[in-house]
A and B are shown apart, each in its own frame.
Chain A
């Protein structure tokens, strides 16, 4: 009896492992196909611009408001910690480094996954459910090039730009609290920041993180839409999976990228 259960457990593990490998294989093939525009497809630039508007411009309100509040909270928390050491003048550099290195790329990517990622999955899932993708295939138009590629590239372009805007608003939010509310000298807020922030180590590396998150989040979002069961529950499940998996991927990749960039391993 126990022998029978063990065999079954191993069998189930094998089936699940094969399923995961097959899923990764399909997702990788999907990514490679979607990254290339393909020859003969019309007006790729106008489609890309439209997606930049849909994914980027329409995400601006949530990104800008969040950036502002994250910066304000960081300044408030940082001030109350630093004041104990008499180092409250360093709040500017603390806010800037925290936002440029971590909060900017990670929080903007999490917000992007929730706002744009879920919308992408739902849109593509609904197109699948209403047979619009099949109709396109039958007309000899490859949906991977026509639908997926502009969205994937739109996401890759938008998120790093949204991250930079998040960082700018965060730093200004920090100044609003530190300088205008808590009375830190404006010169030291900006001068300490200028002295501490390195263009390559902080801004470029933060942007690289954001670029990686953009690829992964958009890939997960469009793949789940493409792979959704063509039912209302299927779309709901796919949308949830996008937000959960993209968020976990962002946090896990953030650790890996930070470790690599700091050279800690």
Chain B
């Protein structure tokens, strides 16, 4: 099986709004796949469907060959031990130190002795350059450091699939560079399958093997980063090159200005 995740003819509505309209895509094993698209296109929702936190109205989500919407609660939690998600906010446990945050999954899922937990946590913190920050509390970390601690926590159980939700948002250029390097090196060193959801085009394209671009509930483009850059599609160009107006309108739908202001 070459694909770790497959979305098959997936349709998802929330509060009556159509988020995905019969979309299909594949996330190949061992590769970095980016899901790009303007804000509000449902990129984070897609991760919720992959992790089973949301259920589609129709279609299927296969993760490691298992149909996620049809799994029992117990089977779903078992599958999630192989998955990992880096939240946009970091989602660190605020009442635990950095060390305890990273050790959390080890303590919950294994019976390893304390000295071994300590060594594994320190190794993961070393991976993200924060071995010296183990005793800090999340409130003492900068945004970039919190994201790196969350990354260390998400790889502590050696997951097979790691998903990054907007990892570059709100990061300074140095932190962005650090995260790009980490995502690339971790994917190679740990033989992970990575899914990167982002609207930071340059960073995402620089590390991806494959890219999907979503808009209006559809996949509007897919391929390698170079294939996307070479595309003539106007909507894709507007998104990739940040043009203010085009097929995706600058204005939210409304009555004509004259009608609204001068009446």
Contacts and interface: CB of A to CB of B under 8 A. Distances in A.
Contacts of B104: 139, 141
A45 to B, nearest CB: 15
Given A41-B108, A138-B51, A141-B108, A130 B91 contact: yes
Contacts of A202: none
A51 to B, nearest CB: 13
Interface residues of A, number: 14
B158 to A, nearest CB: 13
B78 interface: yes
Interface in A130-152: 130-132, 134-135, 137-142, 146
Given A140-B80, A142-B77, A135 B91 contact: yes
B53 A134 contact: yes
Nearest to B84: A138
A59 B53 CA distance: 36
Interface string B49-68: 00101000000000000000
Interface string B82-105: 011101010111100000000011
B87 A42 contact: no
Contacts of B80: 137-140
A130 B53 contact: no
A141 B78 CA distance: 9
A131 B79 CA distance: 20
Interface string B26-39: 00000000000000
Given A130-B94, A134-B53, A140 B109 contact: yes
A151 B190 CA distance: 38
A131 B78 contact: no
B87 A131 contact: yes
B94 A132 contact: yes
Interface in A14-59: 41-42
A138 B94 contact: no
A132 B85 CA distance: 12
B120 to A, nearest CB: 15
Contacts of A41: 108
A130 B108 CA distance: 21
A146 B95 CA distance: 14
Interface string B102-124: 00110111000000000000000
A135 B150 CA distance: 10
Q: Pick from B53, B85, B107 the residue with the most CB of A within 10 Å.
A: B85
B189 to A, nearest CB: 21
B68 to A, nearest CB: 13
| 7 pairs of A and B residues whose beta carbons are closest in the complex | A131-B91, A135-B91, A140-B81, A140-B80, A138-B85, A139-B105, A140-B77
Given A137-B77, A139-B81, A140-B78, 8 more contacts: A132-B91, A134-B87, A135-B87, A135-B93, A138-B53, A139-B104, A140-B80, A141-B108
